[in-house]
Structure 1
């Protein structure tokens, strides 16, 4: 693998996204696809790392881009992300594989796939994403973000995980785009100020021809440095077919449903306890009411003993039934808590 990969076009148009991907975001940015790569994805850019650190991630590490014979240009990203869940580990190790390819008309395709190593059910799925950055005009780009959550094993929580992840990923990258626009505005402002200073110095020190030549050389150097390649390493079907579009993963949170489900479970457990108390009270009083009939002392004692035995047996049966219900509620709560995770999207 060679480092310092240059912006290199692949023949043909970009392949369509694979089945299962859903569009989560579509925004226009004031930059070309090359400028997008230079500002947010190149080895010199710290934007993505700054976003991860700002949201609370630790141990953030970005490998350098390198060329891969089959996947394009690839790198790995590692970080430790906090987990928003009342039960389970407070944080999880995350590994995100990234790759990119450039097609006709500077169509940049960035694909990522992320796994969370320490969360429950973390080995059941990954979060895959695809970015399509295309030229909308000479100075702007259309950025489209799609997400897919492939499962390698079956779980009854699949629907809930997909729904919550999609919602939180959309919100996360809306914030990401807001920061990206702000970043581009600051960069444009600084570039404008720098250009003004260069013009003044050029008037004092250089002729107009020399200044034009220097500007042209600087632009060539900047384009050469900013052009790099970006790609994910692990994707379903990547090696089977190069036309398959690889996914991208960012970490998102799926624990809000646990918080919403917990109160309702507590209510049902409370109701079960109240029912047991009322039933025990009824069973305790029922034999006494039945013994108020006009019978002799010996018959009454026999009836009371018989009713007491029946009452004790009924209480035991009721307690066993309640214990069975409580175990079922506890197992359900455990499964719900175990499914909580935080898939944070950088």
Structure 2
């Protein structure tokens, strides 16, 4: 059990180092032919802990989802965090990683806590990972959240996976599947309660995020949504 705990901490440390600005390899400096042949070296999340919480159609293509909502030029994340009344947001740039396929980045913020067992707010770190298929019709967006000031916060992480695939049945739309779960790096007596509370809280976050995301891609059309600088090309992310 101790060995497993050490391995879990090592994987978390690897993810944090890869997603941070330390040793950044910006995507723009990497030859496109190298990106096209990239291979997955490490899984970013624990697939065995996540379960489906959403499955529907989203009103933009998978490639447009990244450009409008996740690209460095987009203001979506800032507006989403502001809508949730989060504060102290800092965002690193998307960059290539030696450990994970596609691109990674790190964001930090303070978020309000709704549990009576927690302080009024907590510092959060979220590591993000994005990878598209070579034809850009599929996008996988994964996140790992670590709460720093809540009880047992160092024991667990919230893992989430958004999968989008552009559809041929409806123009400018993609099927969307969202899965979330809690990965425990170390056993604790509160596991069941923490898991239930964290998943329920993420479902609330997802509803706000999807409502704002739909507004982003439909207000001015999916080609030039709000917060997007015209002329900015979507970075190529490959490896699916």
8 A Cα contact 1:99 1:229, kept in partner: no
| Pair 1:113-2:118 in alignment | no
- Name the counterpart of 1:4: 28
Unaligned runs of 5+ in 1: 193-220, 231-241, 244-346
Residue 49 of structure 1 aligns to a residue whose secondary structure is: helix
Q: CA deviation at 1:9?
A: 5.0
Out of 97, 105, 108, the position equivalent to 1:75 is 105
The alignment status of 1:39 with 2:68, answered yes or no, reads: yes
**Alpha-carbon distance in structure 2 between the residues aligned to 1:31 and 1:4:** 25
Query: What is the deviation of 1:105?
Result: 4.1
- Quote the residue 1:57 is aligned against: 86
Matched-pair contact (CA < 8 Å) for 1:5–1:73 = no
Please state how far the C-alpha of 1:152 moved relative to its aligned partner: 1.6
Higher helix share: 1
Count of aligned residue pairs for this structure pair: 202
Could you tell me how far 1:189 is from its partner in structure 2? 8.5
Quote the Cα distance in structure 2 between the aligned partners of 1:95 and 1:133.
24
**Structure 1 residues 10, 174: CA separation in 2 closer, same or farther (over 3 Å shift)?**
farther
Q: Deviations over 1:92-112 (max 9, x none)?
A: 111111111112442111111
TM value normalised by structure 2:
0.73
Aligned to 1:164: 197
Does the 8 Å contact 2:117/2:151 carry over to 1? no
Partner Cα distance (1:112, 1:5) in 2:
24
CA–CA separation in structure 1 for the residues paired with 2:235 and 2:196: 36
Alpha-carbon offset, residue 87 of structure 1: 5.3
Paired residue for 2:127, among 74, 97, 119? 97
* Structure showing the higher strand proportion among its residues: 2
Partner of 1:304: none
C-alpha separation between the residues in 1 aligned to 2:68 and 2:182? 28
Unaligned runs of 5+ in 2: 1-24
Rg larger in structure? 1
Aligned positions of 1:324-343 closer than 5 A: none
Q: 1:129 aligns with which of 134, 138, 160?
A: 160
Q: In structure 1, how many angstroms separate the alpha carbons of the residues matched to 2:196 and 2:213?
A: 26
SS of 2:156 mapped into structure 1: coil
Query: What is the CA distance between 1:151 and its match in structure 2?
Result: 0.7
- Asked whether the 8 Å contact 1:61–1:79 carries over to 2, the reply is yes
Secondary structure of the corresponding residue to residue 189 of structure 2:
coil
Helix, strand or coil at the partner of 1:227: coil
Tell me the distance in 1 between the aligned counterparts of 2:224 and 2:27.
28
Superposition TM-score, scaled by structure 1 size = 0.52
Q: Decide whether the 8 Å contact of 1:3 with 1:65 is kept in 2.
A: yes
